[in-house]
């Protein structure tokens, strides 16, 4: 039941804070904050009380909950939790708190409805991380787009001409929905293949895992999943929605997008795409890794050329997600663990940078870096925090990002040395765009000598806490690694064993 509550709490909290607007402006905010704190506390409680460091290479769920739903197609409400989903849900809870806090002063219109959307996104994301019935997974996957759409369309910022927030929101929705339908087709293909073998419909993760597919079919289905996740991650040819959506979204929306929504894609690859189609993925790995390398460079180079601070951060996300993609398709345990650390680290650093740029916007009413400069000394501690998070984003040792990137590259090297060597070049570019950002915003000649408002207690606490987490994971990532070890091992085993099995099979005269 705890798992069901993890999903329901944000949904109920959202409805409550929507209705609570009539009793006062601050009440929805407090309800939303309490809701997310509750989710976080519940998750951390689970972390504390359950043992996720399970022995063996087989994936077992630490917690499971199942009820029949649509028996006609073997669909059930099946939720399960393991180390991977736990980490990501904890992250969702934390970023949810941040998102509520950072919109405390930014959002002044229709506060209740804003928090309804915000909490429903988070509820949908938690659902994605918990659902292991494919129908349910798809439901949450698509459902979370709707509140995100409203968040961007109604509370977003309109950029320059032709880049309105509504256009950005619609673009975001169409990209993700269309790719999602491809995943639905792939899911159905898998289900029908399974039905052809066993005679019964099932959308259950465990039942479908063992489906034997012919090679061409497996390739096509794998691509269906991959495209859906690639759009969300985003992988380079499918990234068109991301810069617009980020730039136009309100701060809380950007925090959710960069912090969690992108992670659902990586989660999907780890949870579904690789285990369902290990061979097809193995064959596809070089292409995927190449796309990852392209993403690393493309994101970094375009980041250098941006004037809009949020677009810059958005492009750095593409670059970082390139590393994630490389790590996932390298498939070694070390690389997969690195992927998880990198996801967590990126969630912290990108969310913090987006919050900082939101705070800058509140003070300067612009996101154009050409109109900034020389802010160091005029803004209290904000520039110092920026420096720390920029350093984290470029992967300075001691920060979580360093651990993640290092593990990804180190773990991928034995599998694809050339790719890794090339991708390392991206780290240099990361330093370039990060320093660009600092230089153009905070250093250089000031426009004006007047002091702007410094950080208040709420803003200061948010930043300090996030920074502490960045350093904690950077200096002592072991708890994180322990929690996810069994999951990554299991994925890695499935992903890597198959070819040799096939060889053995062929040698033994099978097929």
Partner 1 sequence: MQTFNDVFALMPLMLVGATAVAIMVGIAWRRQHGATAIVTAVGLNLALLSLGWLSLLGIPGTAYFVLDGLTYMASVLILVSALACVTLAHDYLGGYSGAREEFYLLLLCAVGGGLALSASQHLATLFFALELMSMPLYGMLAYTYRDQRSLEAGLKYLILSAAGTAFLLFGMALLYAQSGRLDFEGLVTSMTSRGSLWTLAGVGLILVGLGFKLSIVPFHLWTPDVYEGGPGPAITFLATASKVAVFVVILRLILAAPAFQSGALEQVLVVLAFVSMLAGNLLALLQSNLKRLLGYSSIAHFGYLMVALVVGEGLAVETAGVYLISYLLTNLGAFGVVTLVSSPYKGEDAAALHHYRGLFWRRPYLAAVLTVSLLSLAGIPFTVGFIGKFYVIALGVEAAQWWLVVGVILGSAIGLFYYLRVMVTLYLVEPGMRRRDAVDAWGWHPSGLVVVGVVMLVVVLGIYPTPMIDWMHWVAAASR
Binding site for partner 1 (CB under 8 A): 69-72, 110, 138-140, 142-143, 145-146, 149-150, 153-154, 166, 169-170, 173-174, 177-178, 181-182, 184-185, 188-189, 192
The two structure tokens encoding residue 49: 């009380």
Sign of torsion over alpha carbons 227, 275, 333, 401 = positive
Q: What one-character DSSP code corresponds to residue 131?
A: B
Q: Taking the complex as a whole, how short is the minimal distance between the CB of residue 158 and partner 1, in angstroms?
A: 12
63: helix, strand or coil = strand
Q: Taking the complex as a whole, how short is the minimal distance between the CB of residue 180 and partner 1, in angstroms?
A: 9
Q: Across-strand partners of 67?
A: 77
Provide the CA 89 distance to its chain's centre, in angstroms.
Answer: 11
Q: Across-strand partners of 204?
A: 133
Could you give the count of Cα atoms lying within 13 Å of 488 in the half-sphere of its Cβ?
A: 26
Provide the CA 56 distance to its chain's centre, in angstroms.
Answer: 28
Backbone angles phi, psi at 132, to 5 degrees: -125, 15
Give the H/E segment covering residue 350: helix 333-364
Q: Taking the complex as a whole, how short is the minimal distance between the CB of residue 166 and partner 1, in angstroms?
A: 5
Q: Taking the complex as a whole, how short is the minimal distance between the CB of residue 361 and partner 1, in angstroms?
A: 20
CB closer to partner 1, 22 vs 457: 22
Provide the CA 403 distance to its chain's centre, in angstroms.
Answer: 18
CB closer to partner 1, 114 vs 413: 114
From start to end of 52-126, where are the E strands?
63-70, 75-81
CB closer to partner 1, 152 vs 255: 152
The two structure tokens encoding residue 2: 């705890």
CB closer to partner 1, 128 vs 379: 128
CB closer to partner 1, 170 vs 396: 170
CB closer to partner 1, 150 vs 348: 150
CA-closest candidate to residue 230, choices 194, 186, 192 = 186
Furthest C-alpha separation in the chain:
81
CB closer to partner 1, 34 vs 166: 166
308: helix, strand or coil = strand
Q: Taking the complex as a whole, how short is the minimal distance between the CB of residue 242 and partner 1, in angstroms?
A: 18
Q: Taking the complex as a whole, how short is the minimal distance between the CB of residue 498 and partner 1, in angstroms?
A: 25
Residue 495 to residue 490: CA distance in whole angstroms:
9
CB closer to partner 1, 175 vs 205: 175
DSSP string, 187-234: HHHHHHHHHHHHSS---BHHHHHT----HHHHHHHHHHHHHHHHHHTT
CB closer to partner 1, 238 vs 297: 238
Q: Taking the complex as a whole, how short is the minimal distance between the CB of residue 178 and partner 1, in angstroms?
A: 4
CB closer to partner 1, 2 vs 177: 177
Q: What one-character DSSP code corresponds to residue 259?
A: I
Residue 384 to residue 376: CA distance in whole angstroms:
8
The beta-carbon contacts of 67-73 under 8 Å, at least 24 apart in sequence, are 69/133, 69/136, 70/135, 72/201, 73/135, 73/191, 73/201, 73/202, 73/203
For residue 163, count CB atoms less than 10 angstroms from its CB and return exposed for 0-12, middle for 13-18, buried for 19 or more.
middle
Q: Taking the complex as a whole, how short is the minimal distance between the CB of residue 425 and partner 1, in angstroms?
A: 36
Q: Taking the complex as a whole, how short is the minimal distance between the CB of residue 212 and partner 1, in angstroms?
A: 18
Q: Taking the complex as a whole, how short is the minimal distance between the CB of residue 238 and partner 1, in angstroms?
A: 13
Q: Taking the complex as a whole, how short is the minimal distance between the CB of residue 153 and partner 1, in angstroms?
A: 5
CB closer to partner 1, 8 vs 44: 8
The two structure tokens encoding residue 179: 């790719």
């Amino acid at each position: 039941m705890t798992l069901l509550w993890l999903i329901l709490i944000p949904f109920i909290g959202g409805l409550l804070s929507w209705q609570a607007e009539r009793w006062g402006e601050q009440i929805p905010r407090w309800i939303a904050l309490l809701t997310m704190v509750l989710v976080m506390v519940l998750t951390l409680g689970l972390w504390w009380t359950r043992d996720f460091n399970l022995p063996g290479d087989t994936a077992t769920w630490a917690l499971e909950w199942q009820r029949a739903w649509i028996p006609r197609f073997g669909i059930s409400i099946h939720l399960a939790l393991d180390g991977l989903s736990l980490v990501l849900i904890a992250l969702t809870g934390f970023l949810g708190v941040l998102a509520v806090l950072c919109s405390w002063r930014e959002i002044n219109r229709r506060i209740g409805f804003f928090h309804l959307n915000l909490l429903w996104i988070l509820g949908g994301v938690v659902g994605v991380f918990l659902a292991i019935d494919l129908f349910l997974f798809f439901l949450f996957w698509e459902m979370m787009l709707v509140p995100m759409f409203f968040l961007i369309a109604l509370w977003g910022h309109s950029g320059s001409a032709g880049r309105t927030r509504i256009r950005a929101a619609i673009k975001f929705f169409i990209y993700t929905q269309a790719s999602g339908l491809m995943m639905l087709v792939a899911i159905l293909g898998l289900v029908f293949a399974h039905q052809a073998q066993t005679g019964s419909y099932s959308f259950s993760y465990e039942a479908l895992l063992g489906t034997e597919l012919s090679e061409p079919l497996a390739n096509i289905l794998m691509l269906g999943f991959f495209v859906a996740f690639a759009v969300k991650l985003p992988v380079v040819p499918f990234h068109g929605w991301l810069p617009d959506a980020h730039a136009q979204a309100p701060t809380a929306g950007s925090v959710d997008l960069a912090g969690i929504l992108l992670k659902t894609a990586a989660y999907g690859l780890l949870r579904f795409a690789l285990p369902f189609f290990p061979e097809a993925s193995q064959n596809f790995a070089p292409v995927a890794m190449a796309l990852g390398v392209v993403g690393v460079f493309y994101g970094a180079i375009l980041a250098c050329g941006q004037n809009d601070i949020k677009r810059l951060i958005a492009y750095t996300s593409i670059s970082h997600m390139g590393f994630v993609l490389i790590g996932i398709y390298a498939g070694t345990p070390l690389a997969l663990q690195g992927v998880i650390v990198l996801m967590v680290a990126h969630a912290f650093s990108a969310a913090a940078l987006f919050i900082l740029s939101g705070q800058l916007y509140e003070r300067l009413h612009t996101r154009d870096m050409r109109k900034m400069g020389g802010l160091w000394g005029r803004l209290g501690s904000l520039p110092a925090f920026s420096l720390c998070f920029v350093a984290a984003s470029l992967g300075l040792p001691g920060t979580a990002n360093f651990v993640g990137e290092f593990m990804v590259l180190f773990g991928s090297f034995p599998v694809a040395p050339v790719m890794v060597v090339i991708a390392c070049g991206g780290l240099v570019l990361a330093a370039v765009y990060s320093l660009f950002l600092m230089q153009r915003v905070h250093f250089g000649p000031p426009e004006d000598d007047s002091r702007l408002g410094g950080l208040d207690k709420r803003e200061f606490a948010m930043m300090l806490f996030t920074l502490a987490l960045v350093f904690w994971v950077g200096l002592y990532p072991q708890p994180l690694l322990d929690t996810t070890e069994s999951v990554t091992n299991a994925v890695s085993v499935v992903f890597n064993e198959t070819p040799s099995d096939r060889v053995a099979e062929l040698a033994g005269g099978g097929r």
